[in-house]
Amino acid sequence: MGSSLIKNIWKWTTTHVHTDARACGKNPSDPQASFSLEPLESRLLLSADLPFSELSSPPPNIYDPPEVVCEAGLLDDVSDICQAVPASQNAALARATDADLFEAVSLTSTAPTTIPDELISQTDVAAAAGAGLEATSLTVAAPVTTPDELVIIDAGVQDYQKLLDDLASQADSSQQREVVLLDAGLDGISQISDILAGYSDLDAVHLISHGSDGVLSLGNARLDLGTLQNNSAQIEAWGSAFAETGDILLYGCDLAAGQDGQTLIASLSELTGADVAASDDKTGSALLGGDWDLEYIRGHIETVPAFSTALMGNWLGLLDTFTVTTTADSDAGSLRQAIIDAEAHAGLDTIEFNIGGGGVQTILVGTDSGVRLPTIGETVIIDGTSQPGYAGVPLIELDGTNVSAGTGLMLFDTTSDGSTVTGLVINRFPTSGIFISLSSGHTIQGNYIGTDTTGLIARPNLGDGIRSMFGETGGNQIGGSGANQGNVIAGNADHGIEFYYSNSGNED
């Protein structure tokens, strides 16, 4: 004999915020998530099941959330087909009901999760009481949610913790948003591919990293026209993570400032099927000349910025990358000018290389004036591995033949702490190749110091290869065990590496 019941259906939502890269596209339950319980419409459910007494229990790995059963007073119009069941019988009723007839939060949990009193709002308590339930006895299966938006932040962005804190402060039940932090030492394109493989029907993905015209830094890789073409199949698969009207918002300085950047945006949109927005000027603090507008749009963007108005007004940083595009020793596009620009504002800066022509590119430092490169007094990443064609052997050579006095690169004072120098050939300077003073925590990897570009022929610096001296100069990482992290330091007139009146904790 068939049976029917009127049930109030309840919807549970939660907001997850993952502030590290461990999630990689998965959706684990967050023990700190906030829950919201809201009643939806009443529904008349008809069933052809056998009487309850004759039904067996569902499989052990299936758990039906408790159903809220209407009070008798609500059933006057259907008294001939529906009987009121006391709230105390809810559990038995849930076990006896075909799970396919009901909206369940989860069908894979083996045990219910009790919602603590403090996670149930006053409105929810009142609604539950009206349905004949004690609020403290409400239980549901562990929620499985699909986020509406995903925010991916490159760990190379200065002060990224403030960005994470701002996103967490916005969390509410009306919008599902998850956050993933890219590992700055790994290929960001591959990381994003792994992350997005775990998602579907996303309304938007926000990518926050350093940018320049036509280039967005992603981990230790870069997204530009070349890498887009080389990884086209991988990037095309990103489109599977989006809803039909999904958006990609790219936060990075000057990404769409020129033709290369605008072509990149159009190609990314075509590959993924998503609408794409990017900035054509500086992105970040207005005090540093930036804004948070994404002016260049391909398609129709429906997504609002990820960050709060307060954060956008108070975060003192720019999502800026300075790109070296010439071997000239001065003026726009030169390494000298990039260092000057990086020194001009606070926060971590990235200097990348995109010098055309292929093969090794030699910068004759001091050609115009005989003067060494500017002292680095702010935290900076000088990334020679970003030069197109890099495959483990440095392609950017800093030749100090024309320098009248001084070192190749100088990292000076505590304001430069935590700088990184990778993928350079540094030779023929009057003193040391790299000089570290009154600063610490630097990373120097994948360089040839005191040799030619093959690493086989001596081109000595007339001092040490690397000299670290005076004050707080500990905690430096010189070389490493990973791929292409080792330095070739040979042929220099004095020591390969010298720690002179330096603190302990340096590694090589």
How many angstroms separate the CA atoms of 124 and 34, rounded? 13
pLDDT of residue 76: 42
What DSSP character marks residue 359?
A: S
pLDDT of residue 392: 94
Query: Which residues in the chain show pLDDT less than 50?
Result: 1-144
Residue whose C-alpha is closest to residue 483's, from 508, 454, 456, 446: 446
Residue type, 349: D
Cα angle for residues 308, 309, 315 (degrees, 5° grid): 85
DSSP helix/strand/coil, 311:
helix
The sheet with strand 35-47 has its strands ordered as: 35-47, 3-14, 68-69
Element (H, E) at 203: strand 202-208
DSSP string, 176-194: -EEEEEEPTTSBHHHHHHH
The backbone torsions φ and ψ at residue 77, rounded to the nearest 5 degrees and listed phi first, read: -80, -10
Sole residue written with tokens 């509406």: 148
Q: How far is CA 402 from CA 94, 367, 395, 430, in A?
A: 84, 6, 20, 9
Which pTM was predicted?
Answer: 0.59
The backbone torsions φ and ψ at residue 466, rounded to the nearest 5 degrees and listed phi first, read: -130, 130
Outline where DSSP puts E strands in 35-100: 35-47, 68-69
Element (H, E) at 233: helix 232-236
Contact 316, 322 (CB under 8 A): no
Query: What sign for the dihedral angle of Cα 399, 402, 405, 411?
Result: negative
pLDDT of residue 75: 36
Residue whose C-alpha is closest to residue 463's, from 505, 425, 427, 412: 427
Cβ burial 119-140 (10 Å sphere, 16+ → b, else e): ebbeebbebbeebbbebeebeb
How many angstroms separate the CA atoms of 237 and 233, rounded? 6
pLDDT of residue 260: 92
How many angstroms separate the CA atoms of 506 and 270, rounded? 48
Contact 206, 307 (CB under 8 A): no
Contact 316, 288 (CB under 8 A): yes
Tokens of 200: 């579907």
* Counts of helices then strands in the chain (DSSP H, E): 9, 29
Cβ-based neighbours of 69, under 8 Å, separated by 6 or more: 5, 6, 7, 84, 85, 86, 87, 89, 90, 93, 131, 132
Is domain 149-314 given the CATH code 3.40.50 in the classification? yes
**Residues written for the chain:** 508
CA-based R_g, the chain, Å: 30
